[in-house]
Amino acid sequence: MAKGPKSVELKMERILNAWETLAATKTFGGLTLEQMQAIAAPARAAREEIEDLEDRLTLALAGRASADEVVAKKLQLVVNSVKGDPTEGPDSPLLQAMGYTRESERKSGLTRKRRPPSGSDA
């Protein structure tokens, strides 16, 4: 099984907790509990920083979504105003430059299906 960051974290916390609870004064692998905790400190700090950054990202994404809603409503108001402006209107090059299709370039939408040739015309 591949060791991902989560499994390393769980293992680290479990071992350090057991060591601290059951044998805090013993030395293992030539290390005291305090030395091992010092070695683990950067890994713990990095995880805490990642958690803080993820929280900030979540907040920023929510802020962007909220701001985008306001912008989208105002943009639609602007587009509708261009369409309704007597000097611009729905066939305006300005509207086309804004990314919309001018009224004169719209297709009617009417389509007629072609009938397949019948094979029994004898």
Per-residue pLDDT of the chain (122 residues; tens, 9 = 90+): 458 989 999 999 999 999 999 999 999 999 999 999 999 999 999 999 999 999 999 999 999 999 999 999 999 999 999 999 999 999 999 999 999 999 888 877 777 788 877 766 55
Structural domain contains residue 114: no
Instruction: At 2, list the tokens.
Output: 């591949």
Domain that holds residue 36: 12-98
Instruction: At 45, list the tokens.
Output: 């700090």
- Count Cβ atoms within 10 A of the Cβ of residue 16 and give its class: 0-12 exposed, 13-18 middle, 19 or more buried: middle
The pLDDT score that the predictor gives to residue 115 is 82
Number of domains in the chain: 1
| CA atoms within 13 A of residue 107's CA, in its CB half-sphere | 3
Does this model's pTM top 0.85?
Answer: no
The pLDDT score that the predictor gives to residue 111 is 75
User: How many Cβ atoms sit within 10 Å of the Cβ of residue 100?
Assistant: 15
- Beta-bridged to residue 28, according to DSSP, are 31
Structural domain contains residue 103: no
CA distance 67 to 69: 5
CA distance 40 to 26: 17
Structural domain contains residue 113: no
Structural domain contains residue 110: no
Structural domain contains residue 64: yes
Structural domain contains residue 6: no
Structural domain contains residue 52: yes
